[in-house]
Protein backbone atom coordinates (compact mmCIF):
# COMPACT_ATOMS: atom_id res chain seq x y z
CA UNK A 1 0.00 0.00 0.00
CA UNK A 2 2.77 2.46 0.88
CA UNK A 3 4.39 1.79 -2.52
CA UNK A 4 1.25 3.12 -4.18
CA UNK A 5 1.25 6.17 -1.90
CA UNK A 6 4.92 6.90 -2.65
CA UNK A 7 4.25 6.51 -6.39
CA UNK A 8 1.31 8.91 -6.23
CA UNK A 9 3.38 11.42 -4.29
CA UNK A 10 6.05 11.12 -7.00
CA UNK A 11 3.45 11.88 -9.65
CA UNK A 12 2.22 14.84 -7.61
CA UNK A 13 5.80 16.14 -7.28
CA UNK A 14 6.22 15.86 -11.04
CA UNK A 15 3.01 17.82 -11.54
CA UNK A 16 4.32 20.54 -9.23
CA UNK A 17 7.48 20.80 -11.34
CA UNK A 18 5.37 21.18 -14.49
CA UNK A 19 3.23 23.88 -12.83
CA UNK A 20 6.25 25.70 -11.37
CA UNK A 21 7.89 26.28 -14.77
CA UNK A 22 5.18 28.50 -16.32
CA UNK A 23 4.66 30.29 -12.98
CA UNK A 24 8.36 31.21 -12.90
CA UNK A 25 8.29 32.13 -16.60
CA UNK A 26 5.41 34.52 -15.97
CA UNK A 27 7.27 35.97 -12.99
CA UNK A 28 10.35 36.42 -15.21
CA UNK A 29 8.28 38.25 -17.84
CA UNK A 30 6.96 40.57 -15.16
CA UNK A 31 10.34 41.19 -13.56
CA UNK A 32 12.22 41.29 -16.85
CA UNK A 33 14.97 38.88 -15.71
CA UNK A 34 14.74 35.07 -15.49
CA UNK A 35 17.50 34.83 -12.87
CA UNK A 36 15.58 37.21 -10.61
CA UNK A 37 12.46 35.07 -10.97
CA UNK A 38 14.49 31.98 -10.05
CA UNK A 39 15.98 33.80 -7.06
CA UNK A 40 12.57 34.80 -5.72
CA UNK A 41 11.26 31.30 -6.33
CA UNK A 42 14.14 29.93 -4.27
CA UNK A 43 13.74 32.58 -1.58
CA UNK A 44 10.06 31.81 -1.06
CA UNK A 45 10.79 28.07 -1.03
CA UNK A 46 13.64 28.56 1.44
CA UNK A 47 11.39 30.54 3.78
CA UNK A 48 8.66 27.87 3.69
CA UNK A 49 11.14 25.02 4.17
CA UNK A 50 12.86 26.92 6.99
CA UNK A 51 9.55 27.32 8.82
CA UNK A 52 8.72 23.63 8.30
CA UNK A 53 12.20 22.58 9.49
CA UNK A 54 12.02 24.66 12.67
CA UNK A 55 8.52 23.34 13.37
CA UNK A 56 9.54 19.69 12.90
CA UNK A 57 12.68 20.13 15.03
CA UNK A 58 10.62 21.64 17.85
CA UNK A 59 7.77 19.11 17.62
CA UNK A 60 10.09 16.09 17.50
CA UNK A 61 12.59 17.47 20.00
CA UNK A 62 15.56 16.82 17.73
CA UNK A 63 18.57 18.93 16.85
CA UNK A 64 20.27 19.25 13.51
CA UNK A 65 23.90 18.09 13.26
CA UNK A 66 25.37 20.94 11.25
CA UNK A 67 28.90 19.47 11.41
CA UNK A 68 28.07 16.04 9.93
CA UNK A 69 27.60 16.85 6.21
CA UNK A 70 30.56 17.83 4.05
CA UNK A 71 30.57 21.63 3.59
CA UNK A 72 30.08 21.44 -0.18
CA UNK A 73 26.78 19.59 0.31
CA UNK A 74 25.28 22.74 1.85
CA UNK A 75 25.56 24.60 -1.45
CA UNK A 76 25.72 21.96 -4.21
CA UNK A 77 22.01 21.09 -4.23
CA UNK A 78 21.00 24.74 -4.19
CA UNK A 79 23.37 25.58 -7.04
CA UNK A 80 22.04 22.73 -9.17
CA UNK A 81 18.49 23.73 -8.31
CA UNK A 82 19.26 27.32 -9.23
CA UNK A 83 20.41 26.25 -12.68
CA UNK A 84 17.34 24.03 -13.08
CA UNK A 85 14.86 26.76 -12.06
CA UNK A 86 16.55 29.43 -14.17
CA UNK A 87 16.78 27.24 -17.28
CA UNK A 88 13.19 26.04 -16.84
CA UNK A 89 12.08 29.65 -16.56
CA UNK A 90 13.86 30.51 -19.80
CA UNK A 91 12.90 27.37 -21.75
CA UNK A 92 9.19 27.05 -20.89
CA UNK A 93 7.96 29.91 -23.12
CA UNK A 94 10.35 28.83 -25.90
CA UNK A 95 9.69 25.09 -26.17
CA UNK A 96 6.54 24.62 -24.05
CA UNK A 97 5.92 22.96 -20.70
CA UNK A 98 5.33 19.45 -22.11
CA UNK A 99 8.56 19.40 -24.13
CA UNK A 100 10.51 20.82 -21.20
CA UNK A 101 9.15 18.15 -18.86
CA UNK A 102 9.96 15.43 -21.41
CA UNK A 103 13.57 16.61 -21.73
CA UNK A 104 13.88 17.03 -17.96
CA UNK A 105 12.79 13.44 -17.38
CA UNK A 106 15.17 12.24 -20.10
CA UNK A 107 18.03 14.17 -18.50
CA UNK A 108 17.14 12.83 -15.06
CA UNK A 109 17.10 9.26 -16.36
CA UNK A 110 20.47 9.61 -18.10
CA UNK A 111 22.06 11.23 -15.05
CA UNK A 112 20.41 8.63 -12.80
CA UNK A 113 21.87 5.80 -14.86
CA UNK A 114 25.35 7.33 -14.53
CA UNK A 115 24.87 7.93 -10.79
CA UNK A 116 23.79 4.29 -10.36
CA UNK A 117 26.70 3.01 -12.44
CA UNK A 118 29.41 4.78 -10.42
CA UNK A 119 27.67 4.65 -7.04
CA UNK A 120 27.85 8.45 -6.63
CA UNK A 121 27.62 9.55 -2.98
CA UNK A 122 26.87 6.05 -1.71
CA UNK A 123 24.05 5.17 -4.11
CA UNK A 124 23.91 1.42 -4.67
CA UNK A 125 25.84 0.47 -7.82
CA UNK A 126 23.67 -0.82 -10.65
CA UNK A 127 24.98 -1.88 -14.02
CA UNK A 128 23.87 -0.22 -17.24
CA UNK A 129 22.01 -3.05 -18.92
CA UNK A 130 20.65 -3.36 -22.42
CA UNK A 131 17.14 -2.87 -21.01
CA UNK A 132 18.15 0.36 -19.29
CA UNK A 133 19.79 1.68 -22.45
CA UNK A 134 16.71 0.75 -24.50
CA UNK A 135 14.47 2.52 -21.97
CA UNK A 136 16.64 5.64 -22.12
CA UNK A 137 16.61 5.64 -25.93
CA UNK A 138 12.81 5.27 -25.95
CA UNK A 139 12.49 8.13 -23.47
CA UNK A 140 14.73 10.36 -25.59
CA UNK A 141 12.75 9.49 -28.72
CA UNK A 142 9.55 10.26 -26.81
CA UNK A 143 10.95 13.62 -25.69
CA UNK A 144 11.85 14.49 -29.28
CA UNK A 145 8.36 13.49 -30.47
CA UNK A 146 6.77 15.69 -27.80
CA UNK A 147 8.97 18.60 -28.86
CA UNK A 148 8.73 18.24 -32.63
CA UNK A 149 5.14 17.09 -33.23
Condensed to tens digits (0 to 9), the pLDDT of residues 77-91 reads 999 999 999 999 999
Domain limits for position 112: 95-148
Cα separation of 135 and 22, whole Å?
28
The residue among 54, 73, 94 that closes a domain is 94
The residue among 94, 112, 140 that closes a domain is 94
Do 103 and 86 have their domain in common? no
Do 7 and 79 have their domain in common? yes
- pLDDT single digits (tens) 56-113: 999 999 999 988 999 999 999 999 999 999 999 999 999 999 999 999 999 999 999 9
What stretches of 61-123 show up as alpha helix (H) in DSSP?
73-95, 97-118
CB-based contact 82:42 (threshold 8 Å) = yes
Task: Give the predicted TM-score (pTM) of the model.
Answer: 0.84
- pLDDT single digits (tens) 4-43: 999 999 899 989 999 999 999 999 999 999 999 999 999 9
Amino acid sequence: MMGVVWSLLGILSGAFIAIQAPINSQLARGLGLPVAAAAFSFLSGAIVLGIISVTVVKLQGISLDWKAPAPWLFVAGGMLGGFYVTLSTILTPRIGAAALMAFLVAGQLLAGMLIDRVGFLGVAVREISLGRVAGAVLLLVGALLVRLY
